[in-house]
Amino acid sequence: MNLEDAIANPQNLGEMTDADSVGTVGSPDCGDMVRLWIKYKEKDGRKVIDKASFQSFGCQTAIAVASMATELIRGKTREEALQMSAAELSQPLGPLPPMKIHCGQMVEGALRAALEGESAAVPVSSAPATPVGPTLADALSAAGKTAGKVKIVFGEKPASQS
Ligand code: FES
């Protein structure tokens, strides 16, 4: 899938009501935000990502990268997904223009927030439902707080742009 296809037909778009974990990140570069949900399952004795979904108040590139990322992390363990960089998450879409690099980094940040928001020690069967608000706007109104498993992170602005 190339960038145009991912923009025209984003995958895994929307809230996941039965998610195990969720992460929300805002970009200080553009003010956009992305929220990403993760659901785990047991497979062959390993806890792997069953599915992921996202909402975005972001540009089309962020939507395309989030779409690709939610596809790429399926079947991976939490640790494997944590090792994926923004470049890896967007790699199938082709190289991003320099002014769009931060869009991919915002998606990577949301993925990390979601992955780190859920303890690896919690068995899938006993993981409680995620107490999150219904929309990304709720996360925006709660920005700066950590409520339940919702982890909101505002990334560092690169020194070269401050
Ligand atoms: Fe804000 Fe791309 S310009 S996420």
Using alpha carbons only, give the angle 78, 80, 83 rounded to the nearest 5 degrees.
Answer: 110
CA-nearest residue for atom 3, ligand 1, is 59
Tell me the backbone φ, ψ of residue 57, rounded to 5 degrees: -105, 75
What pLDDT does residue 58 have? 83
Q: Answer yes or no: 30 catalytic.
A: yes
Q: Which residue among 48, 64, 103, 115 is the active-site one?
A: 103
For residue range 20-69, list pLDDT tens digits in order: 999 999 988 899 999 999 999 999 999 999 999 999 988 999 999 999 99
Give the pairing type, strands 33-43 and 150-154.
unpaired
Ligand 1 geometric centre to CA of 75 (Å): 28
To test ligand 1's pocket by mutation, which of 3, 24, 30 has the most ligand atoms within 8 angstroms of CB? 30
Q: Hey, what domains does the chain have and what are their CATH numbers?
A: 3-161 (3.90.1010.10)
What pLDDT does residue 120 have? 36
